[in-house]
Amino acid sequence: MDDKEKGAAYWSANLRLIFCSLIVWALVSFGFGIILRPMLSGISVGGADLGFWFAQQGSILVFVVLIFFYAWRMNRLDKEHGLEE
């Protein structure tokens, strides 16, 4: 593989990781917090229904977890493509 193909493979893997992370975040924040809230209202978490919990706290926690996951996965991706610091 030449440098151009390696760069394209790296960029493709990076975009795939970003896209998957955004899908998870959208599903949790918009999907569970807004669209599926009526279905989740019967499940109680800490005194509040699950839909409200996702809208208020769950999406923020998932976002923070996604930040750490993205950093960890990008470090692995950098090592796989020989771009580590």
Mean pLDDT score, 64-75: 96
Verdict on whether the full-model pTM lies above 0.85: no
3-state helix, strand, coil in the chain (%, to 5): 80, 5, 15
List the chain domain ranges: 3-80
pLDDT tens digits, 28-68: 888 888 888 888 888 887 888 888 887 888 888 999 999 99
Task: State the Cα–Cα distance between residues 58 and 11, nearest whole angstrom.
Answer: 30
pLDDT in the model for residue 53: 82
CA dist 62 and 24 (Å) reads 8
CA distance linking residue 28 with residue 33, whole number of Å = 7
Residue of higher predicted confidence among 27 and 46:
27
Query: Which residue spans within 1-85 are E strands per DSSP?
Result: 44-45, 48-49
